[in-house]
């Protein structure tokens, strides 16, 4: 993807410099410390935080020099911020065309483990979107695993696809689709509920393809293949085969490799948001 030198989103929260034990390891500065405190003490009042804040500031000034992010880490941060900016441009346009206003999500970069309004998570859970705080959480090391463990070919557009998929969940939240699905699932069996989860996930893939359609002026050779390879690698059937050696279709929550590739492709080819009714298609 052609990304260097272009606009980067300002909706970024970089927590990669922070340890998972609650100690500030990199020069996150005051903002970093406040973010950390909010994580640790989400519900507590401001006066309770003040002494801890002072304590942490002292701790930071006396501790060993912080370890800065590597050049590669910095570059990766710039790349994902550019992709996020591109999703903002495209979704503002699509929402406007449909008489609506797009509200931008934020992206949190972390390492190890993280706290979100949806609860705590570790790198093992992979990138995710939390509707409660409208933030996308990403441990960028996940993409190494996508290659080494799940056999995706990698490349920058594999990452762009995953970000666009998570932004797709944000769009579903804004449009009320996710809320409706969660409500319906309360009265359904596990198997029937899983089918709705699959439709939701495939629609996020469709939205990732749709975004790529609108953003195609920045595509480079091989980008679409990278996205399709990533979509293929994260299919439920592919993952189950890798993890347990066999496939249990009723337990699918994201769709098969074939379905994921198909819906990404449909969004990319049509560029038409009305073609993305994955719910009707599954019945």
C-alpha to C-alpha distances, 181 to 16, 122, 238, nearest whole angstrom: 33, 25, 25
Choices 116-124, 202-210, 216-224, 226-234 (CB under 5 A): range interacting with Zn ion? 202-210
DSSP label at residue 67:
-
- In the bound complex, what is the minimum distance in angstroms from residue 119's beta carbon to Zn ion? 17
Residue 278 CA to residue 83 CA, distance in Å, equals: 25
| Binding residues among 156-185 for Zn ion as defined by CB under 5 A | none
Judged by beta carbon, residue 201 or residue 223, the one nearer Zn ion is 201
**HEC profile of 202-256:** HHHHHHHHHHHHHCHHHCCCCHHHHHHHHHHHCCHHHHHHHHHCCCCHHHCCCCC
Contact in structure between 173 and 179 (CB atoms under 8 Å): yes
- In the bound complex, what is the minimum distance in angstroms from residue 139's beta carbon to Zn ion? 15
Judged by beta carbon, residue 24 or residue 228, the one nearer Zn ion is 228
Judged by beta carbon, residue 25 or residue 204, the one nearer Zn ion is 204
CA angle at 131 for the pair 14 and 240, rounded to the nearest 5°? 90
| Binding residues among 203-222 for Zn ion as defined by CB under 5 A | 204
Nearest alpha carbon to residue 14 among 63, 54, 92, 68 = 68
Judged by beta carbon, residue 198 or residue 224, the one nearer Zn ion is 198
| Binding residues among 59-78 for Zn ion as defined by CB under 5 A | none
Tokens 């970089």, residue?
Answer: 14
- In the bound complex, what is the minimum distance in angstroms from residue 266's beta carbon to Zn ion? 17
- In the bound complex, what is the minimum distance in angstroms from residue 101's beta carbon to Zn ion? 24
Judged by beta carbon, residue 37 or residue 231, the one nearer Zn ion is 231
Residue 73 CA to residue 109 CA, distance in Å, equals: 11
In this structure, the strands spanning 12-14 and 106-109 are parallel
- In the bound complex, what is the minimum distance in angstroms from residue 248's beta carbon to Zn ion? 19
Choices 40-48, 78-86, 200-208, 233-241 (CB under 5 A): range interacting with Zn ion? 200-208
- In the bound complex, what is the minimum distance in angstroms from residue 1's beta carbon to Zn ion? 21
How many CB atoms sit inside 10 A of residue 192's CB?
12
Judged by beta carbon, residue 201 or residue 226, the one nearer Zn ion is 201
- In the bound complex, what is the minimum distance in angstroms from residue 127's beta carbon to Zn ion? 9
Torsion sign over Cα 248, 249, 255, 261: positive
Choices 14-22, 51-59, 74-82, 195-203 (CB under 5 A): range interacting with Zn ion? 195-203
Residue 176 zone, left/alpha/beta (φ > 0; ψ -120 to 50; rest): left
Choices 29-37, 93-101, 139-147, 194-202 (CB under 5 A): range interacting with Zn ion? 194-202
Choices 40-48, 142-150, 186-194, 197-205 (CB under 5 A): range interacting with Zn ion? 197-205
Interface positions with Zn ion (CB under 5 A): 201, 204
């Amino acid at each position: 993807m052609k990304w260097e030198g272009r606009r980067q989103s300002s909706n970024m929260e970089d927590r990669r410099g922070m340890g998972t034990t609650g100690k500030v390891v990199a020069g996150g500065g005051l903002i970093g410390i406040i973010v950390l405190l909010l994580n640790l003490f989400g519900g507590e009042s401001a006066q309770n935080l003040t002494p801890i804040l002072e304590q942490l500031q002292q701790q930071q000034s006396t501790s060993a020099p912080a370890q800065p992010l590597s050049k590669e880490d910095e570059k990766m941060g710039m790349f994902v911020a550019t992709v996020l900016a591109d999703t903002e441009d495209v979704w503002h346009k699509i929402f406007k065309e449909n008489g609506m206003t797009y509200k931008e999500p934020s992206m949190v970069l972390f390492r190890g483990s993280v706290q979100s309004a949806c609860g705590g998570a570790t790198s093992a859970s992979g990138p995710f979107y939390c509707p409660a705080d409208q933030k996308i959480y990403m441990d960028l090391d996940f993409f190494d695993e996508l290659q080494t463990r799940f056999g995706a070919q990698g490349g920058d557009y594999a990452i762009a696809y995953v970000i666009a998929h998570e932004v797709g969940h944000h769009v579903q939240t804004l449009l009320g689709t996710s809320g409706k699905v969660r409500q319906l699932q309360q009265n359904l069996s596990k198997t029937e509920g899983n089918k709705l989860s699959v439709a939701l996930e495939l629609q996020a893939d469709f939205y990732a393809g749709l975004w790529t359609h609108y953003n195609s002026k920045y595509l480079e050779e091989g980008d679409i293949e990278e996205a399709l390879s990533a979509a293929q690698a994260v299919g439920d059937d592919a993952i189950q085969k890798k993890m347990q050696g066999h496939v249990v279709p009723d337990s699918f929550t994201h769709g098969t490799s074939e379905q994921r590739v198909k819906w990404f492709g449909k969004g990319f080819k049509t560029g038409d948001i009305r073609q993305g009714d994955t719910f009707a298609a599954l019945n």
